[in-house]
Structure 1
């Protein structure tokens, strides 16, 4: 047996998509819980004032580019090409591809980082033009951006390593890696912020430290696979040229939701102080189910779809997409409903300490409910876009992304006046549904997505479970002002009881109506 077929067989012999998805979800859950702890610490330290706004913008700029570039365009272009090499080429050719990609990627990122550091005040002006009215906030944001922007270089190389590990189905390591970001920021909040003239600067140093920690963590696991790259720029390599060709349109197409969130920040910078922070805190709560479930499913399905496309297994490709849609509906719909019903209790329990006020809770709850309405669409985009990228079609999502982008702009302008920051969140949610709908329609027209039997019954089962869960939460949740007077421990206990009760009601109904775990098992 050849070297390439041995590695492919080893990959195929592993567990199915459900098992892989559960591994990624578990690791991501740990990361997201620590992320909430991180945000609690930041809320206590900075609240929703000028320092918080400045840090969130300084962190959002490289983080946005990470999602757009590393986890968006690069990942969606690199994984299909790497999967094809792993399936059809020799080990030596795979290593040659990794060396060329690592060197070329690193070279480009070093140039971008150097330019961004030099132009940090102008970048802040572009991403948060409303800060011009407060020179102190603008200067602080620019200073922090010089510390946070190198995070893009480090985390993009981390994403490169994670894509290799995911292709070889070592999903747990990349999924666990973000835990280090949260630990570094928590540690910086505790030990670095007291040493700084402005506490927010300590958090900016924490971002830089976290980028280095995450990259160094993954390198030993690449070494175990014998796939540690020897970076050398080679833009003439056939694989690099194909990745670049796929990346060009993917830079926009796969990350439209992130661009929409960035537009929210730009417009929110013109609103009252605190608007950027309210959007941030509400977005963080929506990111919990999106990351734990939506992104986890997308993470495991892209390499699997890419392999099925390389093997020209069209029927299995379609079955995988159908499986992903069922998983999204199973988790996304009840999660969105719970966020809408428990908005204030969640915000009070997690963030109403220190500098966070009752007014901040009310304002953040408005944008949280608006974002929650789009949670299902955010998840659908995550699993439908790989249906195009696995087939190395990056142009169609771009066309769809342009439509969704303009729709979001129009909705922003229409809703920002009556609803302020909540209008920005609602515009993002509505445009996400348009994006997801067009992606699904395109896959259907191409015959790539074929719905399997049983969808009608399944939808009724899920909707019934959501109705039962929602009625219980509506009836049993105390009025949110009562939560403000409780201790942190009581808030946590009450919230845990509501969450556990809601989960039991939902999945209990599904079990009673015939939904079983083995229905979701699918081989990768």
Structure 2
């Protein structure tokens, strides 16, 4: 368990750095952009973020790693062929999804946040932002697949560090806006946030490539819909799609309902959700990411005793630290929100409204953490 502890610690430290920068980015965006702009931005960002949870952090990743890890253990000579066909199939599917998203961005915003149509200027801003940000799902999904490969080879630091780059580009966009200020003629602004997301996705994928090359896994993609390994991954994705879709459907419903409420509602929910993601990422995702390759290898070796021991270790740590984190979010919600976001365009009323939603989200934090820890055991089997 010592090696798992070290790997979890490395992943958690890198994740902590990313989350801290993420909080800084949210603080700057909240202070330097009007809620009309942030509502449009976060409504548009929900779509690539939701698809990212399916492909990058959810269904695909959780199906790919067990198959890739098992192939490395049982049939190492087939490993590169599996990666070529998997990456090619994923790339083809994502290119089609991205093209549809770019062409029909307005219709997608209407579906996800139809309340924005009551404010045409805000609706057009969200639609334009989505058109620029949609390719992010292609970039981040390929990045996640690369991270899964590196994790299987025991390299957890670089994949965990990757999200830092998106935070850096968004921080740069917020500082640029602060330096230039809002347009004096009252015209719509905020497109720099969308471009920051796109550039962040490019940077995240680019960071992984040298390390893939070092592992000998930087390969030319090939379409492989009928490849046996690809079919196995797709088969494993079916149950994980259901598990991922429940939580993401809730988020989309929240965004849809918030779009019909007062301006600022989407932003308040987003900031609360982001704060809950901090302990979920540091505890649940860190533990789940580290144990998944190990559980997959143990399952492939039919070592059930060690499989149970590894899962038990992760569950105990997840429950212990997750309980404290959930209580902290609920009790300290006003201080957390005021300390991080209050100032500039984010006034006392915004602090109060965000506090209410954070307390509600905080109730479910422990359960989200435990799901992230427990789910890899099912995916590995």
TM-score of the superposed pair, with normalisation by structure 2: 0.96
Write out aligned runs for 1:64-143 (5 A): 64-90=50-76, 92-143=77-128
Deviation at 1:250, TM superposition (A): 1.8
Deviation at 1:245, TM superposition (A): 1.5
Deviation at 1:15, TM superposition (A): 5.4
1:22 aligns with 2:15: no
Aligned to 2:157: 172
Q: Secondary structure at the match of 2:78?
A: helix
Question: Structure 2 CA distance, aligned partners of 1:292 and 1:204?
Answer: 26
1:50 aligns with 2:22: no
Deviation at 1:330, TM superposition (A): 1.6
Write out aligned runs for 1:448-463 (5 A): none
Question: Structure 2 CA distance, aligned partners of 1:199 and 1:316?
Answer: 55
Higher Cα radius of gyration: 1
Aligned to 2:235: 245
* RMSD over equivalenced CA pairs, Å: 1.5
Answer whether contact 1:23 1:172 (CA < 8 A) is retained: yes
Q: How many residues align?
A: 376
Answer whether contact 2:15 2:282 (CA < 8 A) is retained: yes
Answer whether contact 2:32 2:177 (CA < 8 A) is retained: no
Aligned to 2:25: 38
- Superposed CA deviations along residues 243-301 of structure 1, whole A, max 9, x for unmatched, are 11211332221342232222211111122221111111111111111111111001101
Q: Secondary structure at the match of 1:271?
A: coil
Deviation at 1:198, TM superposition (A): 3.6
Answer whether contact 2:150 2:156 (CA < 8 A) is retained: yes
Aligned to 2:253: 263
Structure 2: gaps (5+ residues): none
Q: Secondary structure at the match of 2:57?
A: helix
Answer whether contact 1:178 1:214 (CA < 8 A) is retained: yes
Answer whether contact 2:18 2:163 (CA < 8 A) is retained: yes
Q: Which has the higher contact order (CA 8 A, sep 6+)?
A: 2
Aligned to 2:49: 63
Deviation at 1:192, TM superposition (A): 6.3
Write out aligned runs for 1:226-305 (5 A): 226-305=216-295
Q: Secondary structure at the match of 1:16?
A: helix
Question: Structure 2 CA distance, aligned partners of 1:167 and 1:131?
Answer: 43
Higher mean alpha-carbon deviation, 274-283 vs 188-197, is at 188-197
Q: Of the candidates 325, 339, 342, which is equivalent to residue 352 of structure 1?
A: 342
Question: Structure 1 CA distance, aligned partners of 2:174 and 2:196?
Answer: 8
Answer whether contact 1:72 1:255 (CA < 8 A) is retained: no
Question: Structure 2 CA distance, aligned partners of 1:118 and 1:298?
Answer: 36
Gap change, CA 1:296 and 1:383, over 3 Å in 2: same
Q: Secondary structure at the match of 1:354?
A: coil
Aligned to 2:146: 161
Answer whether contact 1:40 1:350 (CA < 8 A) is retained: yes
Answer whether contact 2:53 2:244 (CA < 8 A) is retained: no
Aligned to 1:206: 196
Q: Of the candidates 358, 369, 377, which is equivalent to residue 387 of structure 1?
A: 377
Higher mean alpha-carbon deviation, 323-332 vs 206-215, is at 323-332
Aligned to 1:485: none
Structure 1: gaps (5+ residues): 1-13, 392-524
Answer whether contact 1:234 1:240 (CA < 8 A) is retained: yes
Answer whether contact 2:85 2:221 (CA < 8 A) is retained: yes
Q: Of the candidates 187, 190, 206, which is equivalent to residue 216 of structure 1?
A: 206
Deviation at 1:199, TM superposition (A): 3.5
Deviation at 1:355, TM superposition (A): 0.4
Question: Structure 2 CA distance, aligned partners of 1:305 and 1:112?
Answer: 32
Q: Secondary structure at the match of 1:169?
A: coil
Question: Structure 1 CA distance, aligned partners of 2:65 and 2:293?
Answer: 6
Deviation at 1:45, TM superposition (A): 1.3
